[in-house]
Structures are given as C-alpha cells and as structure tokens.
Amino acid sequence: MRKYVTMIIAALSLASVAFATESQIWGEMRIQNILGYDKEGSTHLGPLFTMLQHQYFAWIFLGVLIGVPLAFFIHYKIIGPKVFPHSAKKYYAFNLYNRIIHQVAAVSFLVIVPTGFIIVFGDFFGGGTLVRMAKNLHGIFTIPFTIVVIPMALMWLKEALFNLDDIKWFMILGGYLSKEKKPILAGKFNAGQKMWYWVAILGGITMILSGAIMFFLDFKMQMLHDLTGLSQIDLLRAAAIIHNVMGFAVVALFITHVYMSMFAIKGAVQSIITGYVEEEVKILHSTWYKKLKDQGKF
Amino acid sequence: MMSELSKMKFYCDTNRCIECFACSVACAEAHDLPTGISRRKVITLFNGVEGKEISTSIACMHCTDAPCEQVCPVDCFYIREDGIVLHDKNRCIGCGYCLYACPFGAPQFPRDGAFGAKGAMDKCTMCAGGPLETNSVHERELYGQNRIAEGKVPMCASICSTNALLVGDAESVSAIYRKRVVGRGRGA
Ligand code: SF4
Ligand code: SF4
C-alpha cells in the first residue's frame, strides 16, 4: 500500500515540474495544431470528438441509463429473483482483505458513476456549483479506486481467467432466462462475473488513465507522444473519446453487477459483506462447489 | 437574420505583425487577467530564419458554428447576433471539452482549489463581456471590460501599432485586407 502512495506522490510532483516547461497546447505547438485541424492526413480527432460529443455521447449514456435497468426490471417481473434458503452450511470465501479491497472499489464506483452522469447531463442540472462539485468528486474518488485496482486485479486474477465452463455458461446465459434451479457450470466466478472483472479492471485502468490525461491537461507525457505519435491536444481528444466510450461499458456492467447481487439472487450481496457464501453456490457455481466438497470444505 | 458577412471577425495580417506583443499585454491589462492566462497570444515561427520568420497574434476566432458551443456539457456558450461567441463562467464546470473541440486552442483554464482542478474556462470575449449585467462590477470581474457596449474597438486591435490586427464585420475586414494585397502586390 505504501508503494502506491509513494507512486502517486511521485506522479504529482512530476506533474508540477512538467507544468513549468513550455506549454504543449498554448505554446509554439499551437500553430501546428491550428494548421493541422481537420486537414488531409491529420488525425481528425478534433472534429471527430466534436461530432461524437455533440450528437451521440449523452444519448448513448441516456440509453444505457434507461435501457439496462429496464431490461432487468422486465427480467425481474417475468423470471423473478432466484431465492435460496439460508442454510447452516457456509463457506468462508472472501477474507477481510478481499472485502476491504472490494468495498473501497464499491464506494468509489458509487460516487464515480452517478457523478459521471451528472457531468454528462450537466446541461439538465444547470451547470454551476452542483455539477462542478460532481466533477470534483468524480476526480477525488478516483484516488481510492486507483489504490485498490491493482490489488483487486491480483487477488482475483486466477479465478477470473476464462475456461470451458464459461462457453456453456454463455450459451444458457447463466440460467438467468429460466426459473429452474439446475446446477450451472461455473467456478468461484461465473462467466458474467469474469466479464465484469475484466471490464472493471482493464476498463477501470483505462478510465483512470484517460481521466488523468484530461485532469492534468498540459502535463507533457513524452512517452505517450512517442508511443502514439499524437500531439498533446490530440491525446486529450483521444482521451475524451475513450473515456466516454469505455464509460458505456463500465456503467452497463456496473448496473448489471448491482442488479445481480442485490436483486436477481436474493441475499447474494451478503457474501461480500460477511465473507460467507451459502448453499446457493451448489447451483450457481457447481464446479466450484464440487471442488470444495471434494476438499471437504463445505 | 444577419447575413454571414455581418458577423464580427478577427484577422491578423502576418505581413504587418512585428511581434511587439502589444495586443497580448494590452488585453491582459485591460481585463485584469490572472497570471498564466493570455487570451491573446503572439507566436513567432522560424525565429531568425531570414525570409521565413513569421509572427501572428491568436485568440478565440469567434467561429461560425462554434465547435466549443457544440460540445459543452453544461451548455454555457451563447452566440450573439453579431457572431461574438461568449460563455457563462458561473455555469462552466471547467471540464476542458471546449478546448478539445476548438481548432484554435483558445480556451484556457486557471487552476483553482486545493486539488488543482481546472477552474472556469477563460477566453477572448472580443471585449464584449459576458451574460451578466452590461458594464456591471460583476461582469467586469469575471469577463473583463465590455468595450463593445461602450462603442469601442476591442483593446488588442485598437493598440496594434501596425494595424496588423483587424477586427470588425467580416465584410469590412476582408475589404481592408483586399486593398492591402492589391497595394503591396502580394500576400493574398
Ligand atoms: S473558443 Fe475556439 S471553437 Fe469556440 S469560437 Fe473561439 S476559436 Fe471558435
Ligand atoms: S470547460 Fe466550461 S465552457 Fe468549456 S466545455 Fe466545459 S463546461 Fe463548457
């Protein structure tokens, strides 16, 4: 943990050094940026960002915000939640470390996602203090997520690798389209949870980096320039596009994750709070259950 | 509706600009800009290379169909009848989107608060102030002088000793420029 804190402090102090040097946006580069804007052979990122932000991003976010919960609402009405009896048999699946890391990420997301929506629909909220506060919280709560994202990636990496069970899981969509309670092939994490793992980790890191580029604005990152061949202003445009597009995926799966743990499987959220999973894993994570049973842990 | 030609435009004649920085300094002084913000900037290319050296003065160009206005998530821009592009600093959240959309790198951001977040965007107003009451103390504090309301020419153009920096409705500006090109026989 100390290592991360040091890394963040180092990055911040580096940033202040970079600010002192010639601006990448308002310095001499500005002429090149002006002349290159939308010219043949240029990246066209300026007009592309303008078009996407002007016509699409807010609508797609609105679609995700309404569409995903609506689909789940219909699912809840037609198929309904899966309810499992509380059993005496429990297995301690998430230790304190796992739960703390997860809860830090959870709280971060609970702030980052809604504030993100307030920014996207800033117009609706009238701008000003409220939306500015949302923007600041959006940035501040990135810090705890940044601290836990690598530990979280490492602690669940093994369980999140895809395997053959997952193909079968996807073919029946995890059994969520039927009311039956037939054992479903899945390890500690099913294919859906694995998908969320990768979107939350890789998508999350992408969101952190693209967000940081926009936050620090004029912070020269030579390595990124060399790597991508993009000027600072084009990097910012690319970051804004990536941040929004990746946002669609992260938000859609975040809502899914919340629905699954809070509504679709009654009481599932308890397992990450107490650390204990109950009999329901016999059905929902049958491969894992078998393994635990063979080891005599259940 | 006004025609495209009666929209207010800036033009910097690179054949005349002598890199004296008067426009940039006058602007900063007139509007009491904080350090680090220069609404108008003079940039020289090919410094010292004979025959190639060229200087120009850049600020917000008050675009038709301004891209900044199209991307702002809080919709804080408004475009006046005469084409001057202005924004509402009390609404702005300092997200930076207008800068990414702008072809001219015009929007700038003072850092505010302990976290170094971007403050409300600042850019050239063509000396036309902002949405607050014209020539009020608040307007002046947030946006600088409103010289247009007083019938004056924007500060930068009025101080330009070589008259390189032109401002006015598009038709007059191009008429002056045409006359110059004909006069010196080059520079079109
Ligand atoms: S800020 Fe940029 S995009 Fe907006 S009007 Fe000025 S020059 Fe055009
Ligand atoms: S920085 Fe301000 S003016 Fe620019 S797009 Fe964001 S909210 Fe609008």
Q: What is the pLDDT of residues B15-63, one digit of tens each?
A: 999 999 999 999 999 999 998 899 999 999 888 899 899 999 999 999 9
Total-model pTM: 0.92
A119 and B73 in contact (C-beta within 8 Å)?
A: yes
pLDDT at residue number A20: 44
Rounded to the nearest angstrom, the gap between the alpha carbon of residue A246 and the centroid of all alpha carbons in its chain is 8
Is B110 a residue whose pLDDT tops 60? yes
Residues B105, A34: C-beta atoms closer than 8 Å: yes
Average pLDDT over residues B145-166: 96
Query: Measured between beta carbons, which residues in chain A are less than 8 angstroms from residue B97?
Result: 53, 240
Does the Cβ of B7 fall within 6 Å of ligand 1? Answer: no
* Rounded Cα gap, residues A92 and A278, in angstroms: 9
Of A121, A131, A217, the CB nearest to B96: A217
Block residue for tokens 């029946």: A172
Q: What is the pLDDT of residue A85?
A: 86
Q: What is the predicted pLDDT for the residue at A158? A: 97
Tokens for B37, please give them.
Answer: 């913000």
Nearest 5 degrees, angle CA B133-CA B136-CA B138? 90
Best of A48, A217, A219 to mutate (most B CBs within 10 Å, chain B): A217
Look at residues B44, B40, B45 and name the one whose alpha carbon lies nearest to residue B58.
B40
pLDDT tops 60 at residue B130? yes
Mean pLDDT by 10 residues, chain A (298 residues): 60 50 85 92 96 98 98 96 86 96 98 98 96 96 98 97 96 92 94 98 98 92 90 97 98 97 92 92 94 88
Residue A283's identity, in one-letter code, is I
Q: Residue B8 in contact with residue B169, Cβ under 8 Å?
A: yes
Q: Which helix (H) or strand (E) holds B8?
A: strand B8-12
Across the interface, whether the CB atoms of A119 and B96 are under 8 A apart is answered no
**Which pLDDT value is given to residue A19?**
45
Helices (H), A21-95: 29-36, 45-55, 57-78
- Rounded CA-CA distance B153/B147 in Å is 7
ipTM for this model = 0.92
The ligand minimizing its distance to the Cα of B86 is: 1
What is residue A219's predicted lDDT score, i.e. its pLDDT? 86
